[in-house]
Structure 1
Amino acid sequence: MVNIMDNLSSVEEQVDEPLGRVPILSYGSGHMLNDITSSCWFTYLLVFLTDVGLSPSDAAVVMLSGQLADGFTTVFVGELIDRFGHFKLWHAGGSILVAISFSSVFGSCLPCKLTGTVSSTLETVGYSTFAAIFNVGWAVTQVAHMSMVNCMTSNPTSRVALVSCRNAFTMVANLSLYGIALLIFSLLQSVSVIVQYRWIAYVSIALGCCFVAVFLIGTKEPGLNQRCQNKSLSRISWTHWFKKILYYQVALVYMFTRLVTNVSQALLAFYVINDLEMHQFSKALVPAIIYVCSLIVSVILQETRWSSWRLKNYFSAGAMLWILSGIGIVLLPSGLHNFMYALSVTIGVANALMTVTSISMEGVLVGEDLNGCAFVYGSLSFVDKVSCGLALYILESYQGNTQTRTNQELAFGYSVTRLGLGLVPAACSLLSAIIAYTMDLPDTRRRPLVEPLLA
């Protein structure tokens, strides 16, 4: 009995030790395929679908079908991972599904080829099917990857470092996508735009798969030691989380944060071209500035000694920056469009502060309840996907209706794009900041990393 207790104590000390640079960087690379395909999904899918002949409303249906499939999958996958473990196996399976189906999303309409007929209904069904399959794989990979954080280490600073590194790779993925797009548009000018988008998707998948291989090789399966440590504990029921007020608070903060980032990404290109009348290259330059600033801030955040107080205040600071940015977006006249580059810096900093801390709040919510952590990440992702899908569907439907957009401009003096990009993220930021300040987060122990990542 003494030997068993000594072994358990040794395991606890091992998982409580701060992580070094290599395991953190290896873990961060594991979401690269998801991130680069997600960036391509939100940036180019609607444009691609309208180019192949779908109406804006049908294209919005395709995106909504994918988001709903993603949301519902996260709940079931979280339950299965909590029950059976094997994080890396789930991650690898989801990545394979993503790689295969995403190429089909940007491919031709398979049902149309099989039946030899072409109709808008059949095309919508065909693209929606592959969009749903892609998002199922995406959800499996995401939940498996996020659930690993609490099982890799119990050190609070290392947990935030893992999340921050993951967010940094998200920025790298977004910048990589725009670099790939610029290269493809430059080298393949003689081919159709549809073919160009397909090559962007294919190259993105190849790059993302390389990073998945790095993750699978360089990251140890975390379930063994932690599950040995907790094998005497029964699996936590999902009703356990629904009895916690903190669960609902974290869920709302995470949902609003994802609405801020996804809505702003979807409307940004329309805003800089149609409302500010900037040059075409600004569609790549403005988001690039945002992602570079987010990357820098994410790396800096990895060096921070975290506490519950700092999590709440850093998040609120990011929310306040987005509120100021939203006001600037609504009021900025086209004649002063160069100020958008300054706003891009503010948005990038705000995105990083809100994203890193909101995901870290999930880790604080889970705490030491590792036998139910996958359900938490899965259920919160469900709320995120459904809300984002519905919000983008409504906004894209308005954007697709030219007459409605014109009437809105005459009535309010502002376009739907300007109001959506400025007010929706600002309102979500304000609500999330209020909720964050009402949280009673358990205080965390602040221990530094073994090696500072900036050293």
Structure 2
Amino acid sequence: MVRHLVGDASSEEAQNGTPVGRLTALSYGAGHMLNDITSACWFTYLLLFLTDIGLSPRDAAIVMLSGQIADAFTTVFAGELIDCFGHFKLWHAGGSFLVAVSFSSVFGSCLFCKIIGSNSPTLQTIGYSIFAAIFNVGWAVTQVSHMSMVNCITLDPTSRVALASCRNAFTMVANLSLYAVALCVFSVYNSRASADIKIQYRWIAYLSIFIGCFFVVLFLVGVKEPRLKQEIQCKKISRISWAHWFKKILYYQVALVYTLTRLVTNVSQALLAFYVTNELGMSDSSKALVPAIIYICSLLVSVILQEIRWSGWRLKFFFTAGAILWVFSGAGIFVLPPSKHNYIYVLSIIVGAANALMTVTGISMESTLVGEDLNGCAFVYGSLSFLDKLSCGLALYALESYEGSSDVSVNYSITRYGIGAVPAACALLSAVVTYTMKLTDSSSIPLVEPLIA
């Protein structure tokens, strides 16, 4: 466990930035598994599921946008409430419960339509949008409480990056678990009828919830409530106002980099299933196999990143390396012809490595921004997540609204622009912004014990 959180560890040890141990890092990483596995299903299969059961691309995008908007605004309010009252684990448990009870209704029959007695596209859109919003409210509460906890577990920069990297590694495990489940379900239910499609995704949802809840229990048992936040509240130090962050240039730089990173990963993930089946003409199994390759590579890179002793310039270097990899792989995805579809596996390896490099270092930049200002950390994570969720929802809505539009070049579809050109452009812009950052370095202590020894 973390040395300053166990037994009679003193407050002075905590303030000195005592590094974390293996058990705490692994237990912390497991805490976002339910969010991660449901998020993977949300971004990979929601648009595909809704269009397969008869909704238009624009109506399907409205359902996703409603969830993203609910998520965006909840992150701000959740961050404010957590900063006021603390109790990270209580918020985490409440959000996880809401996710667990609502997610199966996102991928299933429209309960609102059954109550009204009609299955019109409008009612289906409204019904699915309601449960999408409820699911994302719980998801946002869990995310903000989990992410902001990093800064209150330890002040050591290397340990903070290790926690973020471990969290990202479990994200990869969650995604791989989802695609393994999806591959099995798609193999068993191979019908294209609407009823069978709903059964497919309902089983995927149930199994995802079961796996995610198991890891949430491990997190709640393995990680103690951070004392750094409690000590600040006991000392009655005034909360840091929003204006404090808005006066920092680094806040805007980190916000832009984090938002662009999420656009890269989420938009490409949401359109990947369409791309491999519709654009490349691959089999249904590719909807699980190609994403699985991406996340296997991301997992390996995330594990390696956990062992690095971090500084400000290393964060910038590794983030830029990931962004450059995405620029080249995005260009390849954009022009890849169906006759050469096997090259998507090579591109998937590059994308997986790039995603891990950008995500781990991007989240760690948030920790660098917060520093030791723990009494406002939840607002930082909440406000940046607000920008992330809103921008992703609007981007996907815009792309899906123009799906099949005659205004788009006949040579390249909207799907190709969305999964290739848009992420590549975002990655390039994020690398430029990262270059302008001035990240301060503080004393960094190695981990108590290597995570992969």
Shorter-chain TM-score bucket reads: over 0.9
Counterpart for residue 70 of structure 2: 69
| Structure 1 residue 62, shift from structure 2 partner | 0.6
Aligned AA (1:249): Q
Aligned AA (1:32): M
Equivalent residue runs for 1:1-12 within 5 Å? 10-12=10-12
| Structure 1 residue 188, shift from structure 2 partner | 4.2
Aligned AA (1:263): V
Counterpart for residue 86 of structure 1: 87
CA distance 1:192–1:124, change in 2 (3 Å): same
1:449 corresponds to 2:447: yes
Partner Cα distance (2:305, 2:240) in 1? 32
Residue by residue, what CA displacement relative to the aligned partner does 1:389-440 show, whole Å, maximum 9, x if unpaired?
00011112223xx3x16x6243xx2222222222111110111001001011
Partner Cα distance (2:423, 2:30) in 1? 28
Partner Cα distance (1:59, 1:420) in 2? 16
Q: Identity rate of aligned residues, in percent?
A: 71
- Contact 2:48/2:273 (CA < 8 Å) preserved in 1? no
TM-score by length of 2: 0.94
SS at match of 2:31: helix
Partner Cα distance (2:413, 2:90) in 1? 47
Counterpart for residue 228 of structure 1: 231
| Structure 1 residue 305, shift from structure 2 partner | 0.3
Which structure 1 segments of 5+ residues have no match? 1-7
Counterpart for residue 310 of structure 1: 314
Partner Cα distance (1:53, 1:270) in 2? 15
Counterpart for residue 177 of structure 2: 176
Aligned AA (2:174): A
Superposition RMSD in Å: 1.7
Counterpart for residue 339 of structure 2: 335
CA distance 1:397–1:166, change in 2 (3 Å): same
SS at match of 1:419: helix
Counterpart for residue 400 of structure 2: 396
- Contact 1:306/1:444 (CA < 8 Å) preserved in 2? no
- Contact 1:11/1:229 (CA < 8 Å) preserved in 2? no
Counterpart for residue 99 of structure 2: 98
Partner Cα distance (2:426, 2:253) in 1? 14
TM-score by length of 1: 0.93
| Structure 1 residue 189, shift from structure 2 partner | 4.7
Partner Cα distance (2:228, 2:268) in 1? 41
2:429 corresponds, among 422, 428, 431, to 431
- Contact 1:74/1:379 (CA < 8 Å) preserved in 2? yes
Partner Cα distance (1:252, 1:202) in 2? 35
| Structure 1 residue 46, shift from structure 2 partner | 1.7
Counterpart for residue 3 of structure 2: none
Aligned AA (1:13): E
- Contact 2:24/2:222 (CA < 8 Å) preserved in 1? yes
Counterpart for residue 251 of structure 2: 247
Aligned AA (1:414): Y
SS at match of 1:168: helix
Q: How many residues align?
A: 441
Residue by residue, what CA displacement relative to the aligned partner does 1:301-358 show, whole Å, maximum 9, x if unpaired?
0000000010001000000000111121223233322222111111111000000000
CA distance 1:21–1:9, change in 2 (3 Å): closer
Aligned AA (2:167): R
Partner Cα distance (1:167, 1:130) in 2? 27
CA distance 1:423–1:189, change in 2 (3 Å): closer
- Contact 2:14/2:155 (CA < 8 Å) preserved in 1? no
Equivalent residue runs for 1:137-216 within 5 Å? 137-189=138-190, 192-216=196-220
| Structure 1 residue 232, shift from structure 2 partner | 4.3
Counterpart for residue 59 of structure 2: 58
Counterpart for residue 286 of structure 1: 290
Counterpart for residue 408 of structure 2: 408
SS at match of 1:204: helix
| Structure 1 residue 95, shift from structure 2 partner | 0.4
Partner Cα distance (1:91, 1:115) in 2? 34
| Structure 1 residue 225, shift from structure 2 partner | 4.1
Counterpart for residue 358 of structure 1: 362
